[in-house]
């Protein structure tokens, strides 16, 4: 151990050895390692911490262990700081070392894939995903202790019940780390190419890239291509999955996309799968690596009603209908895979080139001789219990204007104080992923509405005020509800108002509005495309 400088926080040899023994016991009792792995795992951790001997007679029963590895990792991370095994005592460096520790206590990638296949063959794919999800939680790849801190509530609208989350699971960078990252900008390696590349498995990470020693992925075949399945470390919903292509290839929505989605739900019928759109503004945050998101969750959009089911004019085996939803969703259903793929492909082809100036929809623009496309689709696939495939095709357009420079069908500026980021797949389906800054800001607004803090309109107008972006909203809230509300009433009021704003965000993002003119324009497209 490196103890050249005296430090009262340095743990004793015996306490460190016991902490190691408890983590090894946790790994064994939760099935991360087998009996034959115990000595090797213990020795790997002793070596990592430069500790000579294990704890004496440390018999640890399952009942003496926590449900999560987090409290067991805490003393080991403290030791890593004390022994200068990490460059600095920041959350990022602790996270990097955390993954390094847990990477010594989980199956190798090939062993993980083999066990998943065995469970699928013997007990079914749902049992296999249950096991794999638990593995990701027990290895602390999915940091449930942070995810549980996310704010969550539901909000009723005329189109159904939305889900609202305030994302606190992604920790913010320490100011020292931010300053260091600026100095590293020109020296950053190009490996792995992105967070979705398969080369992330086992990667030690760095200040600007998370460690992935405790990441495990499963190989898949979609359209006979090499794809991989993993869970998201920041699960926004139950069993939040990422399905990514083996090659670093940009996203592109095509007929092949629909085929891959149906391949997946045939293999994982208890999961949905969907893709972000493939254009900026309406697409996801990572467009340079083809990938999907899936999981075991029923989103609000799936439960939304269809206004009227029709038989598709192109394929009688396919039913289609417009979903009563703030965004523009065409739902297809059929037990005939070939037929539903044919219709989905035709919808995409027709929509790519479709313009309707009366509805602000322009398919292409020209600038200095270059043609830019604006129409695309966010697709979602499910396999229903009755044997039908279901495809939701969400029509998107990423055009901008002088009035709406961030996007005509994007959250408009008066909503940016709540949500400015792209409206991707998860939000499209009715789950708001709102920025973590809102937690503190909503708390400050609650103080004003409950009278714990004074309402100073002039101070709020100053750019440096932490609530400046909310100034107009707060003025309206105070005007309507005053400043003497009870804590419970204020909390419910703010949740309802944030929910209303997210509903307005989705309405802004819908290319066809939910009024009579919007429905008529949607039906015009279906008629022009020869679908209904």
Q: What is the mean pLDDT of residues 377-390?
A: 97
Work out the mean pLDDT of the chain and round it to a whole number.
Answer: 94
Instruction: Enter the DSSP assignment of 187.
Output: G
Looking at residue 183, its pLDDT comes to: 67
Q: H or E stretch including 433? A: strand 431-434
Residue 63: Cβ-neighbour burial (10 angstroms; 0-12, 13-18, 19+): exposed
pLDDT category of residue 4 using cuts at 50, 70 and 90: very low
pTM: 0.93
The string of pLDDT tens digits covering residues 133-143 is 999 999 999 99
Strand pairing of 160-166 and 431-434? parallel
The string of pLDDT tens digits covering residues 388-419 is 999 999 999 999 999 999 999 999 999 999 99
The string of pLDDT tens digits covering residues 191-231 is 999 999 999 999 999 999 999 999 999 999 999 999 999 99
Angle at 207 between CA 203 and CA 212, to 5 degrees: 25
The string of pLDDT tens digits covering residues 229-253 is 999 999 999 999 999 999 999 999 9
Residue 214, CA distances (Å) to 95, 203, 211 in order: 11, 9, 8
Instruction: Enter the DSSP assignment of 406.
Output: T
The answer to whether residue 173 scores a pLDDT higher than 70 is no
Share of the chain above pLDDT 90, in %: 89
Nearest residue to 318 via CA among 302, 299, 333, 330: 333
Looking at residue 9, its pLDDT comes to: 65
């Amino acid at each position: 151990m490196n103890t050249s400088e005296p430090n009262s926080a340095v743990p004793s040899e015996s306490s460190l050895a016991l902490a190691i023994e408890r983590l090894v016991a946790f790994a064994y009792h939760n099935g991360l390692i087998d009996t034959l792995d115990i000595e090797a795992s213990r020795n790997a951790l002793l070596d990592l911490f430069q500790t000579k001997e294990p704890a004496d007679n440390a018999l640890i029963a399952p009942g003496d262990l926590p449900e999560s590895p987090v409290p067991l990792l805490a003393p080991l991370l403290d030791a890593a700081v004390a022994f200068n095994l990490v460059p600095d005592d920041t959350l990022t460096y602790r996270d990097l070392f955390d993954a390094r520790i847990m990477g010594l206590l989980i199956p190798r990638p090939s062993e993980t894939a083999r066990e998943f296949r065995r469970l699928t063959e013997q007990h079914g794919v749902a049992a296999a995903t249950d096991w794999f999800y638990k593995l990701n939680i027990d290895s602390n790849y999915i940091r449930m202790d942070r995810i549980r801190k996310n704010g969550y509530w539901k909000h009723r609208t005329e189109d159904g019940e939305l889900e609202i989350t305030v994302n606190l699971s992604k920790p913010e960078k320490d100011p020292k780390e931010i300053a260091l990252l600026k100095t590293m900008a020109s020296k950053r390696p190009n490996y792995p190419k992105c967070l979705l590349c398969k080369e992330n498995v086992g990667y030690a990470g760095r200040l600007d890239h998370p460690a992935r020693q405790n990441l495990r992925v499963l190989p898949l075949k979609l359209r006979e291509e090499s794809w991989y399945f993993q869970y998201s470390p920041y699960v926004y919903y139950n069993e939040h999955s990422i399905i990514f292509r083996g090659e670093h290839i940009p996203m592109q929505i095509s007929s092949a996309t629909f085929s891959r989605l149906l391949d997946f739900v045939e293999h994982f019928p208890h999961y949905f799968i969907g893709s972000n759109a493939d254009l900026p503004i309406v697409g996801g945050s990572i467009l340079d690596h083809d990938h999907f998101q899936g999981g075991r969750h029923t989103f609000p959009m799936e439960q939304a009603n269809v206004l009227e089911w029709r038989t598709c004019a192109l394929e009688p085996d396919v039913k289609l209908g417009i979903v009563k939803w703030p965004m523009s969703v065409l739902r297809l259903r059929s037990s005939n895979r070939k037929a539903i793929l044919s219709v989905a492909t035709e919808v995409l082809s027709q929509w790519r080139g479709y313009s309707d100036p009366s509805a602000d929809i322009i398919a292409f623009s020209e600038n200095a001789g270059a043609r830019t496309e604006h129409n695309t689709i966010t697709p979602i696939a499910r396999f229903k219990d009755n044997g039908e495939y279901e495809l939701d095709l969400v029509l998107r357009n990423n055009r901008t204007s002088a009035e709406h420079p961030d996007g005509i069908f994007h959250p408009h500026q008066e909503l940016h104080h709540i949500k400015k980021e792209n409206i991707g797949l998860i939000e499209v389906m009715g789950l708001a992923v709102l920025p973590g800054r809102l937690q503190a800001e909503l708390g400050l607004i609650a103080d004003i509405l409950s009278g714990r803090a004074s309402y100073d309109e002039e101070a709020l107008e100053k750019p440096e005020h932490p609530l400046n972006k909310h100034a107009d909203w707060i003025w309206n809230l105070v005007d309507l509800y005053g400043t003497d509300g009870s804590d419970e009433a204020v909390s419910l009021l703010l949740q309802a108002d944030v929910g209303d704003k997210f509903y307005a965000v989705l309405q802004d993002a819908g290319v066809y509005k939910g009024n009579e003119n919007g429905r008529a324009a949607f039906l015009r497209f279906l008629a022009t495309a020869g679908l209904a």
